[in-house]
Amino acid sequence: MLRTIFALAKMHLNEHNIYKSNFYLFSFNRLIEVVVYIFVWQAIYYQTGDAGGFTLSQMITYYILVVSINPIVLWGINEDMGHSIRTGRINKELLNPISYFKYYFGMNLGEIAFAVIVGIAVFVVCAIFWGVTLPVSFLNFIIFLVLILLGIPITFFLQMIAGTVGFYSGSIWGIQILRKAVISIFAGVIAPITLFPAWFQALSNYLPFQELIYTPINIWIGEFDMSQIVFVLIKQVIWIVILYIIAKKFFEHAVKKITINGG
């Protein structure tokens, strides 16, 4: 089964590689994004003498990491799933000898592999241009990676949920934007969570999103209270289970709808 999933991942990665320009285009977009964020925070820093509680160089590292990790969290198989539903290709995919979930999980891994390649390229280029602070310790770096890995099933199940909406609405365009917006805000892409009101931060503590980007970066730059790490890890595992159940049940309900009413 694992080999099938890797085969799917490789196929999906190859799909991206067919268009060599994809890599340069996506990487270039990321770079523009970093530049914009850095200019904004430089301006804020020079005006107010403060960059959201961070030093300016921490803030620059923060955004370089945000933009490098961002694709891993936001990209995925949502569009492919929408396309599969719209064109009726789903009928063929439901006739595969492996479940639709595993099939798309494999493809999603391929997408993530592509995101990681773009992310590393962006990180290296930015590191050369602006300089970044390295992780404060090797342990911190490992925890950083663990949290990023735990984020993969979370973002995958979120995409399956968003994609399944397409069975009911016919289009996933709206839910796609919502998904990206929610993740961007709660994961600390727009601004570090500490800049938001206290109630928002309290809520965010229980949601799985800030551990996708914000928390790992804080662990990288040493601004995270390590006494909380166990709570965070357990929280993520619980969310993986919850989102898995929701995604699975929702998808099964949607498939039942097709198998009763026809595609």
Ligand X SMILES: Nc1ncnc2c1ncn2[C@@H]1O[C@H](COP(=O)(O)OP(=O)(O)O)[C@@H](O)[C@H]1O
Q: Output the CA angle 15-16-21, nearest 5 degrees.
A: 135
Nearest CB to ligand X, comparing residues 35 and 258: 258
CA distance linking residue 154 with residue 262, whole number of Å: 30
Binding mask 202-241 for ligand X (x = CB under 6 A): ----------------------------------------
**Distance set, CA 73 to CA 85, 94, 116, 151, 210 (Å):** 23, 26, 10, 7, 11
CA distance linking residue 220 with residue 142, whole number of Å: 9
Which residue in the set 35, 98, 117, 246 belongs to the binding site for another protein (CB under 8 A)?
98
- Smallest gap from Cβ 92 to another protein, in A, equals 4
Nearest CB to ligand X, comparing residues 95 and 260: 260
- Smallest gap from Cβ 95 to another protein, in A, equals 5
Q: Does 262 bind ligand X (CB under 6 A)?
A: yes
Nearest to 140 by CA among 61, 65, 219, 213: 219
- Is the CB of residue 107 less than 8 Å from the CB of residue 9? yes
Binding mask 77-96 for another protein (x = CB under 8 A): ----------xxx-xxxxxx
Q: Does 29 bind another protein (CB under 8 A)?
A: no
Judged by the rule CB under 6 A, the positions of this chain that interact with ligand X are 261-262
